[in-house]
Structures are given as C-alpha cells and as structure tokens.
A and B are shown apart, each in its own frame.
Chain A
C-alpha cells in the first residue's frame, strides 16, 4: 500500500460544518457510537502501530494545519519536534482545552459537543509520535470535564490498549493555559509561564517531551487522519485551509460559536451571527490580547492565522461587536485592569507596566487624563512590548494601542472630559468573576 491516508473526498460531509456537531452547541454530547457513525473508523485508532500512524505527520504537513489556540504554529513542525526529541522517556500529548479567553467558548463547544473528535486527534497524534500518555487540561470547575470524563470512559472500553487519558484541572488564571505555564504546572510547579527555550518539546512534562495542542487543532487532525490533506484543503483558501471556529458576541443578533471556511472575511462572520441589527461601532478580534478593528476594516479583511497585509489575525477566534452606544475607551480600560491583575508577576515590565497602563487608561476613561497623559500611555505600551517571558504583555499593549487608534475620536472626547457613549451602557466584553484569589498551583 503506497497511500497511507485514504482520500475519501466523496464520503466526507459538505463543509463548512466539520468540527461542530450538526445541531450546534448545546445538544447532548456525541456518544462514541454516534461519533463513529458520523465519521467512520480511523485506521490509526484501531491499529496505532500501522502505516496510517506513520503517515500522519506528513499528512498534517500537507494539510497545512496550524495551531488554533491563537499562536498559529505549524502543527506538523511541533509533531516532528516532539517525535525527534529523543531521550529515554516516551513523549506525552497534552490537549489544551483550558480556554482562558473569557469571551471564547469554541473549545468548550467542542469538548461538550464533540469530545470524541478531539480525543481521536489526541490518540492519532500520540500514535504518530510514540506517546503513551494523554492529558486533557481544562480549567477548574469547567463543565466540559464531565462530558469529557464520560467520553474517556466509553473509549477505554472500546480501545483498551490505547494511550490512557487523564483529565487535569488547571487553576482559573488567564496565563495558566499558556503552553509553558501548562507544562510547568503539569510537572508539579505553578501555572506560571517560563522562559522559552527550552520549549515544551524539549523541557516536557516531568522530562517527558510534551506535545501541547489546542483542542480545535486536534479535532482538525482527527479529520486529516481520516480523510487526508486534499479533503482538508477542499474548504478554505490555500493559505488558510480548513475551517475556523469563532465565538461571536456583543451587538449581534445571534451570539454563539460558528464554524466558517478558513480565510472568511469579517462580514461573513458577522452575517453568520445574524449581523448587527443596531449597528456595530468597532470589533474586538482574537481575544483580550487581540486588537480592536474598525467595523469597515473588519468586514473587508480576511481573518487569518498569522498577520499579513490587509488581513486581521483571528487569534483564538473571539469576535466581539461593540454597539454604537458603547465606549471603546471604557471597555478597554476595564479589560486592561483585569489583564493587569492576570499577570503572573514574574517579569518587571509586565508586573509594573501593566498596572501603570491600566491606571492611566482608567483615568482616561473617567475623563481625567490630558494629552500628555495619553502620550505617556503610548510610550509605555511601546516600551513593554516583547519584554516578558510570555506574550501576555505584548497582547495587552497590542489591545491598548489598537484602542487608541480605532477610538482616536473618542480618546479626544475623553481628553476634554467628555464621553460620547450612553453613560449607563453596560460593558459588552465579558469578564469572569470570583477568580481573584485563584491559586497558581
């Protein structure tokens, strides 16, 4: 047999509803039988040492799959790095389903609606890199842990020889699901980021080289393992193959999780969520380390994994539509305060710079900051970028800088002590509550 991955394009369902179960999120999770009826068997699951497992990395490379957690790193390169890490200890697979972005619900939709697809991907990846253990990380108290545990139980009965799966519950901290923090915590430490390199493929979990992949990435990988790269690329664009999950909220008619073809423009994303019947002032894209984009700019631009000219980085797929009566300055000040509190406090530029930026933005939101104060804010944002161990400070400064640009007219209003938004307009960007005292361990 020369072709190790079947190219059964005709049997594969029409796009773009691939990852999410047909009825959408909210329905009971897929049972294993339903799942296998929908997708068919995967050779790599029934025979982990067979040729399908051996060909998976090449298939993932040909499919052009990149990480869906926000980083966009090529998945095949990660698989190869872990497979080739050497050493005497077998690698481990870590499914990153700890969805830290408060406005994101796509990984939860997957874990509750299609847990077997994610677990298929984890098992296929484990077989491809020789891993003998799988850990699924969710945040403490995440309701997805229950559907996940049921799915793991069902699978253990069907594939007793497969790599065992454990579910780990991570502290509810924004940076805890950052890859290095996750690996540090799984190794017995605190869920705070570490300096990389060494990367998780080298440092590993308890010296086992670790493949850390977002849940959506593994769901895609499960389909590549079944149907191959040509099928995978039959949706999306050459640069953005496959589908993308978006969590749309704010001033849209139907907030929710939507699956769109890769390379879709912002206008298509808004349309899927019923559009913004009352108008949309601006859009926050990616997550709270993402950026504000003007509505026109968002509608016209392809949403891409990386950033390029004329495109908007989709990050973790968060899309929040700001209503016309909302205030982008107030929204951003509120987010900056929460994000400053989420710093792991390890790196000076983040531990000191983010609270300073947050205080300055709070003053601007209240109408107490003059033009010179805005210039200081811009200078701090520029200074902090790239100087943390992780990308947390970069994300915050990117969000703040984009707000100062997109809401420039509103910033001018605030400098003169005014705000053009409706005073009692509630904030649209959701923030978690009750996690202030969450421990790092």
Chain B
C-alpha cells in the first residue's frame, strides 16, 4: 500500500462526557450532527461524517474550550 503522507480523514465525532461542560459551540458549528439536550449538553448523531462536513467538524473540535469533542 502506497503511503500518501496524509493523515486519514476523520470519520466519527465523539464527546468525552467528563470533559464536556456544555459550552455548546459544537452545536453552533456543526448543527448537522450535534444538537443539545435540555441541559445544554451535546447529543451526537453517530453517522459517519461525509466529506462536506469534515471541515466544519474540525472547526467544532478545535473550538471546543475543554477539548471534549474529538474526531476519529
């Protein structure tokens, strides 16, 4: 298998529930996959990310103040 020198494209979003303190930026930046529950904590739509959402997902992960939102 040829090495392309690029990291694999992230396909899944996860939340570390202990780190998460409900800032809610993820739901602002990635509303296609993240909604908030009645207390402001994210509910993740677990479907794999399609190509059009990856940039937004990266922005959401970077913006998370507690680094609870992770891309895999």
Contact = CB atoms under 8 A, between A and B. Distances in A.
Co-assembled chains A and B: yes
B64 interface: no
A389 B39 contact: no
Contacts of A194: 18
A353 B41 CA distance: 10
A193 to B, nearest CB: 8
Q: Please classify how large the interface on chain A is, using the bins under 10, 10 to 19, 20 to 34, 35 or more.
A: 10 to 19
A384 B38 CA distance: 10
Interface stretch (A67-75, A123-131, A342-350): A342-350
Interface string B9-44: 000000111101110000000000000011111010
A103 to B, nearest CB: 28
- Give the secondary structure class of B's interface: loop
Contacts, number: 41
Contacts of A348: 17, 20-22, 39-41
A105 to B, nearest CB: 32
Contact of B18 (A380, A383, A384, A389): A389
A384 B17 CA distance: 11
Nearest to A384: B37
A185 to B, nearest CB: 16
A387 B39 contact: no
A389 B41 CA distance: 14
A352 interface: yes
A55 interface: no
B38 A387 contact: no
A14 interface: no
Nearest to A387: B17
B38 A356 contact: yes
A195 interface: yes
Interface in A186-222: 194-195
Interface of A: 194-195, 346-350, 352-353, 356, 380, 383-384, 387-389
